[in-house]
Amino acid sequence: MTTQLQDLVLVGHGMVGQRFLEAFVEQPGAAEWRITVLAEEPRAAYDRVHLTSWFSGTSAEELSLAPTGFLAEHGIDLRLADPATVVDRAARTVTCGSGAVLRYDALVLATGSYPFMPPVPGHDAAGCHVYRTIEDLERIRDEAERLGPGGVGVVVGGGLLGLEAAGALTALGLTTHVVEFAPRLMALQVDEGGGRLLQRKIEGLGVRVHTGAGTQAILIGEDGRVRAMGLSDGRELAADLVIFSAGVRPRDQLARACALPVGERGGIVVDERCRTRDPHVYAIGECALAADGRVYGLVAPGYQMAETAARSLAGGRDQELREEHRFTGADTSTRLKLLGVDVASFGDAHGATEGAVDVLYSDSRAGIYKKLVIGAQGQLLGGVLVGDTEAYGLLRPLAMGGNPLQTAPEQLVLPSGLAPASGPIALPDEAVVCSCHNVSKGEIRAAVHDQGCTTVPEVKKCTKAGTGCGSCVKLLGTIVTEELEAGGVTVDRSLCEHFAHTRADLYEIVRVAGIGTFSELLDRHGRGGDGCDVCKPAVASILAGLAGGHILDGEQGALQDTNDHFLANLQRNGSYSVVPRIPGGEITPEGLITIGEIARDHGLYTKITGGQRIDLFGASVDQLPRIWRRLVDAGFESGHAYGKSLRTVKSCVGETWCRYGVQDSVGLAIELELRYRGLRSPHKLKAAVSGCARECAEAQSKDFGVIATSAGWNLYIGGNGGMTPRHADLLAADLDKETLLRTIDRFLMFYIRTADRLERTSVWLDRIEGGLEHVRQVVLEDSLGICAELDALMARHVDAYQDEWAAVLADPDRLRRFTSFVNAPGTPDPAVTFVPERGQIRPARPHEDGRILTPALVAGPRLEVHTA
Amino acid sequence: MTEMLIRPPATDATTGMVEILDGRTWTRVCDYQELTPGRGVAALSAGGAQVAVFRDRSGALYAVDNRDPFSGAYVLSRGIVGSRDGVPTVASPMYKHVFDLRDGRCLDEETAPDGRPAVLRVWAVRVAATEGAP
């Protein structure tokens, strides 16, 4: 049966609009609709929550929320920069900016909100900005650049967004003030005590905070631009740039103009199914006044409304099912990091419930403030956490559960050393663990015991839990492990059939027992057999880090993968490629010429790598020592492109040359690369140093990345490009160089010690218990008491480093293996052949008549034979 | 005369020349002591074929084709020697397919991409006493 398609028009393609589309196309009735989306902005939906990360290098493309192909796949007609201007409810049409008139059977308004501009004189002067779209940010950046380091920026509003804006201005090098009318920062989320601590922390970062101060006027200079700001207390604050971030208002003008009811303070009135008074018109997100009489300015409730409206419109024929999903209000708990300060607020944070009492822990010295609001029946109602939000993942669901606490509340706020020991705190099944996607503990447990998920990534995929803000991932891990153990499943993390240990276990065994060889480890701790291509290279890497020595010496040589075995990279036809180290990507003209000459003389194919170095392809094993000889004589050394070890420390050109650079990124990159060269690790390590917040070296896609600030260096860890990209997390900010090196030393050694085989830092960071916060405590606060050991191991590595190529060249014994045929030295491998392409060589394909690269044989090889 | 040895009794005591049999001709590979336990070398047979010769941890010798049927590259001699369920193996360095060193059979996949069975030819190998040795 085919029916006439109905027309759905969505007005607004923001986060909630996109979510609506995603939810809608999954509904059983979605196929009956043709969808048109009208967007005011020139780009498709992007992640406004992480807008500030645009300043630290996240591109507009990376912020995009519309998956590639999504719109096309579902036949959605997205019209960018074409806002809706008029809705005619009687005719059921929408007129848009381009003049087109669209008929609709259903209209969904997701127009969001606009920044509130306090009606002070001068607020529209040049130099005044709001903070909402990528275009706003572009204007702010351009202006901050023009002003340079002497400029002064003032942010009006000390809420969440205002503090983010202040952070961005600081990062752009401006002297930054925050002016807040309320007596404290983040007045909505935190209480007085929390606000005081937050203010102290933020002032510690160089931002000047003025609370209890109203903006009276923007004073304009002779050039027509902002000159200063007049405050309600009579003071005048010099200002070159002003950002208004004093709250938002619902964009309900379209609804007002077509006489749909709106709230007294704005917001399109909707019912529990997100329908306006007109049954053909829906409103979702920040533009809607929900059935509970509130306008929600957070993304999670907006997502829930999107889901509700989608089901209501296309949830299938069963009326009851369509109406089952209702939006009756939402949890406004938040956990975030502002300028490096952790802040969380959940449930009844201000103790508004009758009979509520507080349990408070405050330590100004350590910068920690925790308040829990407890109800009359002993149930947790809500709380505020500043400085340490570790417990948020557990506390928020407990507060939502509403059951009396089974533990003394003080135990929940005391630091772990001070709290009396107790078992795990039981969460009820109905407790919502992931509030972004509204997933309860019961659903997570079901994913494990009914759907066979055994890992956090599987549960994430299956339930969507943990894929929003990510704050519940740790709790997720605990629940999954508990559930697996309850089901009698032991998670087998054995390295391979020869060892019933993880790589991290083996590392500890080797370290503690002082084991020096693979045989010894296999005999004493293995399960029999001879080892394999899984455990041998893994153990070789552990031994290289702990026992030292050349990786090809003694038994260790036999353990290495072919790349390490030949100190070069195996290519598809059995030839190798050679990558000399070019620290930080800096190379002299002579160096370039030398590499060119060597490549030319050996007939190698050359290509510039992504890591700012030069790869020479097509070498046979016989040629390798001759190529190294020339490279080593010219001052080059191994680039370790073959190893599970540090590859490259990429850099931008930095302040030495770049107009925008604030630190010498090349110098630091060279220093880092020379410090960590040759360091064997569970997987390859990539790094980068950027000389300013523009991030041209792409440091946030590296295992460790450093970004210069005007006050020092920011250190990011756990980034990854490749197949599963991950943005790195900020581990520490504004470090001096000595602290930076020490912190990287410890991070690397801690990773090497605890990671699984072939586990990149990105995966490791997501897996280990406690995640980033745990790593921070270990490497910055020495919470495990191992930093002295980590430091000593790194010091030994730095001292013991030797160039692996030069060491081979110096030793005839090690050189012997570099021959194609042990019984016909000098005979090149006849199977390795090449053909010309674009002026260089490439491997011959099957059936192509290729040429052997090395000088062809005059006669066949002479082999010693005798008859049987 | 020489004696064919697959499992020499005591590794360190074994001296002599490793040889592979190509048809009716024994071809010299190298001195037994030159082989690293757990590693292989490539050799040319009298007929010009590429052969991978391995010595395992216990001292036993194996010789199979050097060509990896999955990549077509002549690289098996550069693989890692080990064991799977007690069976002596070599893992190709190219795509990590594991082969039984005793019969040349691939333990991971039965068929190579060209449609032929993924089985390596096994070559006879021995340690011939060095001339003049007792």
Nearest CA in chain B to A519: B57
Nearest CA in chain A to B37: A558
For residue range A123-136, what is the model confidence (pLDDT) as tens digits? 888 999 999 888 99
Region A148-165: mean pLDDT is 89
For residue range A504-545, what is the model confidence (pLDDT) as tens digits? 989 989 988 888 899 999 999 998 889 999 999 999 999 988
Q: Which residues in chain B have their CB less than 8 angstroms from residue A860's CB?
A: 48
- Compute the mean pLDDT over every residue in chain B, rounded to the nearest whole number: 86
Q: Which residue, A444, A697, A415, A740, is CA-closest to A584? A: A697
Strands A281-283 and A106-109: parallel
- Domain span(s) for CATH 3.50.50.60 in chain A: 6-114+250-324, 128-246
Identity of the residue in B30, B44, B75 whose CB atom sits nearest the CB atom of A827 = B44
CA B48 vs CA A817, A834, B12: distances in Å? 20, 20, 31
Q: Nearest C-alpha of chain B: how many angstroms from A642? A: 13
Strands A241-244 and A152-156: parallel
Q: Nearest C-alpha of chain B: how many angstroms from A495? A: 14
Output DSSP code: residue A483: H
What's the total number of domains in chain B? 1
Contact between B51 and B66 under an 8 Å Cβ cutoff? The reply is: yes
Model pLDDT, residue B12: 47
Q: Where are the beta strands (DSSP E) in A288-356?
A: 288-289, 334-338, 341-347
Q: Which residue has the higher pLDDT, A604 or B8?
A: A604
Contact criterion met (CB < 8 Å) for B48 and A860? yes
- Domain span(s) for CATH 3.30.390.30 in chain A: 331-421
Region A75-97: mean pLDDT is 94
**Is B1 part of a structural domain of the chain?**
no
- Domain span(s) for CATH 3.30.413.10 in chain A: 644-799
Q: Which residues in chain A have their CB less than 8 angstroms from residue B49's CB?
A: none
Contact criterion met (CB < 8 Å) for B28 and A865? yes
Contact between A16 and A299 under an 8 Å Cβ cutoff? The reply is: yes
Q: Which residue has the higher pLDDT, A688 or A248?
A: A688
For residue B91, give its domain range: 11-128
**What band does A3 get if pLDDT is binned at 50, 70 and 90?**
low
Nearest CA in chain A to B97: A533
Segment among A42-46, A420-424, A674-678 with least mean pLDDT = A420-424
Identity of the residue in B27, B50, B78 whose CB atom sits nearest the CB atom of A565 = B78
| DSSP line for A758-809 | T--HHHHHHHSTTHHHHHHHHHHH-TTS-HHHHHHHHHHHHHH---HHHHHH
Output DSSP code: residue A496: B
**Is B18 part of a structural domain of the chain?**
yes
Model pLDDT, residue A73: 87
**Is B83 part of a structural domain of the chain?**
yes
Model pLDDT, residue A57: 76
- Domain span(s) for CATH 1.10.10.1100 in chain A: 427-487
Q: Which residue, A617, A609, A624, is CA-closest to A834? A: A617
Q: Nearest C-alpha of chain B: how many angstroms from A431? A: 46
Q: Which residue, A404, A430, A408, is CA-closest to A418? A: A408
Nearest CA in chain B to A813: B34
CA A803 vs CA A431, A639, B40: distances in Å? 57, 9, 25
Task: State the Cα–Cα distance between residues B38 and A97, nearest whole angstrom.
Answer: 74
Interface test with B, best of A533, A553, A829 (most B CBs within 10 A): A533
Contact criterion met (CB < 8 Å) for A823 and B43? yes
CB pairs under 8 A between A and B: 129
Helix axes A535-546, A503-513, angle to 10 degrees: 40
Identity of the residue in B30, B79, B96 whose CB atom sits nearest the CB atom of A823 = B30
List, in order, residues 6 or more apart from A852 with CB less than 8 Å away.
Answer: A828, A829, A830, A832, A833, A834
**Is B64 part of a structural domain of the chain?**
yes
| DSSP line for A379-412 | BEEEEEEES--TTHHHHHHHHHH-PBPSS-HHHH
Interface test with B, best of A530, A624, A829, A866 (most B CBs within 10 A): A530
Strands A341-347 and A380-386: antiparallel
Q: Which residues in chain A have their CB less than 8 angstroms from residue B97's CB?
A: none
Segment among A60-74, A224-238, A355-369, A458-472 with least mean pLDDT = A458-472
For residue range B41-55, what is the model confidence (pLDDT) as tens digits? 999 998 889 999 999
For residue range B53-104, what is the model confidence (pLDDT) as tens digits? 999 988 999 999 999 999 999 999 999 999 999 999 999 999 889 999 999 9
For residue range A616-655, what is the model confidence (pLDDT) as tens digits? 999 999 999 999 999 999 999 999 999 999 999 999 999 9
**Is B2 part of a structural domain of the chain?**
no
* Complex ipTM > 0.85: yes
Of the options 3.40.50.300, 3.30.70.1140, 3.30.413.10, 3.40.50.2300, the CATH number for the domain spanning A644-799: 3.30.413.10
**What band does A858 get if pLDDT is binned at 50, 70 and 90?**
very low
Give yes or no for residue B40 having a pLDDT over 90. yes
**Is B6 part of a structural domain of the chain?**
no
CATH topology (fold) of A427-487: Arc Repressor Mutant, subunit A (1.10.10)
Give yes or no for residue A422 having a pLDDT over 70. no
Model pLDDT, residue A683: 94
**For residue B112, what are its two tokens?**
């190579």
The greatest distance separating any two alpha carbons of chain B, rounded to the nearest whole angstrom, comes to 50
Contact criterion met (CB < 8 Å) for A532 and B39? no
- Compute the mean pLDDT over every residue in chain A, rounded to the nearest whole number: 88
Nearest CA in chain A to B79: A562
Identity of the residue in B24, B50, B98 whose CB atom sits nearest the CB atom of A868 = B24
Give yes or no for residue A391 having a pLDDT over 90. no
Domain CATH number, residue B64: 2.102.10.10
**For residue A120, what are its two tokens?**
């002070």
Identity of the residue in A558, A572, A574 whose CB atom sits nearest the CB atom of B74 = A574
Q: Nearest C-alpha of chain B: how many angstroms from A821? A: 5
Identity of the residue in A822, A829, A867 whose CB atom sits nearest the CB atom of B74 = A829
Contact criterion met (CB < 8 Å) for B91 and A532? yes
Q: Which residues in chain A have their CB less than 8 angstroms from residue B26's CB?
A: 865-868
Identity of the residue in B42, B67, B78 whose CB atom sits nearest the CB atom of A822 = B42
Q: Which residue has the higher pLDDT, A666 or A404?
A: A666
Q: Percent helix, strand and coil across chain A, each rounded to 5?
A: 35, 20, 45
Q: Where does A453-588 have alpha helices with state H?
A: 456-463, 473-486, 503-513, 518-525, 535-546, 556-559, 562-566
Contact criterion met (CB < 8 Å) for B82 and A860? no
Region A194-209: mean pLDDT is 89
List, in order, residues 6 or more apart from A829 with CB less than 8 Å away.
Answer: A574, A620, A621, A820, A821, A852, B42, B50, B74
Q: Nearest C-alpha of chain B: how many angstroms from A750? A: 29
Interface test with A, best of B1, B80, B102 (most A CBs within 10 A): B80
Model pLDDT, residue A853: 58
Segment among A6-20, A54-68, A245-259, A828-842 with least mean pLDDT = A54-68
Interface test with A, best of B19, B44, B45, B107 (most A CBs within 10 A): B44
Amino acid identity of residue A847, one-letter, is H
Contact between B66 and B42 under an 8 Å Cβ cutoff? The reply is: yes
Contact criterion met (CB < 8 Å) for A821 and B84? no
Q: Which residue, B73, B125, B48, B63, is CA-closest to B99? A: B63
CB crowding A743-761: b at 16 or more within 10 Å, else e: bbbbbbbbbbbbbbbebbb
- The A-side interface with B (CB below 8 A) comprises 497-498, 519, 528-533, 535-537, 555, 557-559, 561-563, 565-566, 570, 572-574, 816-817, 820-824, 827, 829, 831-832, 846, 860-861, 863-868
CATH assignment of A128-246? 3.50.50.60
Nearest CA in chain A to B78: A562
Task: State the Cα–Cα distance between residues B33 and B55, nearest whole angstrom.
Answer: 10
**Is B5 part of a structural domain of the chain?**
no
Identity of the residue in B24, B82, B91 whose CB atom sits nearest the CB atom of A867 = B24
Q: Which residue, A238, A245, A309, is CA-closest to A275? A: A309
Q: Which residues in chain B have their CB less than 8 angstroms from residue A863's CB?
A: 27-28, 44-46
**Is B120 part of a structural domain of the chain?**
yes
Q: How far apart are the first and last CA of chain A?
A: 81
Nearest CA in chain A to B87: A529
**For residue A94, what are its two tokens?**
């929408």
**For residue A368, what are its two tokens?**
């920690």
Task: State the Cα–Cα distance between residues A545 and A507, nearest whole angstrom.
Answer: 9
For residue range A319-361, what is the model confidence (pLDDT) as tens digits? 666 667 788 888 778 877 777 788 888 888 888 888 888 888 8
Identity of the residue in A531, A563, A573 whose CB atom sits nearest the CB atom of B73 = A573
Q: Which residue, A201, A207, A200, A204, is CA-closest to A179? A: A207
Contact between A825 and A844 under an 8 Å Cβ cutoff? The reply is: no
Q: Which residue, A40, A113, A163, A50, is CA-closest to A295? A: A113
| Domain A331-421 in CATH 3.30.390.30 | yes
Contact between A553 and A526 under an 8 Å Cβ cutoff? The reply is: no
Q: Nearest C-alpha of chain A: how many angstroms from B70? A: 11
Q: Which residue, A252, A269, A168, A811, is CA-closest to A553? A: A811
Give yes or no for residue A865 having a pLDDT over 80. no
Contact criterion met (CB < 8 Å) for B30 and A822? yes
Nearest CA in chain B to A576: B75
Of the options 3.90.550.10, 3.40.50.150, 3.50.50.60, 3.40.50.10800, the CATH number for the domain spanning A6-114+250-324: 3.50.50.60
Tell me phi and psi for residue B18, to 5 degrees.
-80, 135
CB crowding B91-122: b at 16 or more within 10 Å, else e: bbbbeebbbbbeebbbeeeeebeeeeebbbeb
Give yes or no for residue B1 having a pLDDT over 70. no
For residue range A686-700, what is the model confidence (pLDDT) as tens digits? 999 999 989 999 999
Give B27-34 contacts, CB < 8 A, sequence gap 24+. Answer: B27/A823, B27/A863, B27/A864, B27/A865, B28/A823, B28/A863, B28/A864, B28/A865, B29/A822, B29/A823, B29/B53, B29/B63, B29/B125, B30/A822, B30/A823, B31/B130, B32/B8, B32/B127, B34/A816, B34/A822
| DSSP line for A51-107 | GGGGTTT--HHHHB-S-TTHHHHTT-EEETT--EEEEETTTTEEEETTS-EEE-SEE
For residue range A34-70, what is the model confidence (pLDDT) as tens digits? 999 999 999 899 988 888 888 877 788 888 888 778 8
CA A38, A40, A43, A48: dihedral to nearest 10 degrees? Answer: -110
Return the residue matching tokens 């030292």.
A548
For residue range A708-729, what is the model confidence (pLDDT) as tens digits? 998 899 999 999 987 778 899 9
Q: Which residue, A277, A279, A282, is CA-closest to A306? A: A282
Model pLDDT, residue A426: 65
Q: Nearest C-alpha of chain B: how many angstroms from A679? A: 22
Quickly count: other Cβ atoms within 10 Å of residue A694's Cβ. Answer: 17
Output DSSP code: residue A431: S
**What band does B4 get if pLDDT is binned at 50, 70 and 90?**
very low
Q: B45 forms bridges with which residues in the sheet?
A: none
Q: Nearest C-alpha of chain B: how many angstroms from A547? A: 20
List, in order, residues 6 or more apart from A258 with CB less than 8 Å away.
Answer: A86, A87, A88, A89
Give yes or no for residue A732 having a pLDDT over 90. yes
Strands B50-55 and A215-220: unpaired
Identity of the residue in A528, A529, A820 whose CB atom sits nearest the CB atom of B42 = A820
Model pLDDT, residue A859: 41
